[in-house]
Amino acid sequence: MLSNSCQNIMVCITQQITCERLILKASDLGNQLEGQLFVIHVAKNEWNFLDNAKESEALEYLFKISKSVGANLSVLKSDNIVETLVNFAKENEITHVVMGESPNHHSKSNLHTELSQSLPGVEILVIP
């Protein structure tokens, strides 16, 4: 099976324009690894980002950035963000995860820890 040589990179973004740096960093990594890039945003079910002009503009901008580096942007709705990210990672045979550092270090640690425990063997890169 050739899937071991395939490098798939998942970029976890929020609906903030500043996530552009994560997509670009992951794109550089993808170029080094000759890997495929997957950009994902998970919105909680009660979040209605389409009614929020600022957030929908940011997602549209991030969609354009994703396309410019050859990646698709997936927006999924779920109340269990970690489980959704883990399932997406497994379905797409993700080998690397790129995520931003949370302003609240405890949140970042929890998400990072939960992903690390749920995805053994997947390299997780936290970008400040």
Q: Quick check: helix, strand or coil at residue 117? A: helix
> Using N-to-C axis directions, what is the helix angle for 105-118 and 81-91, rounded to 10°?
40
**What residue ranges in the chain does DSSP mark as E strands?**
8-12, 36-43, 72-77, 96-100, 123-127
Q: How confident is the model at residue 49 (pLDDT cuts 50, 70, 90)?
A: low
Which H/E stretch holds residue 23?
Answer: helix 20-33
Give the mean pLDDT of 41-49: 79
Q: Delimit the domains of the chain by residue range.
A: 2-127
Q: 2-127: CATH homologous superfamily?
A: HUPs (3.40.50.620)
Q: Is the pLDDT of residue 2 over 50?
A: no
What lies within 8 Å, CB to CB, of 6 at 6+ separation is 35, 36, 93, 95
Q: Is the pLDDT of residue 1 over 80?
A: no
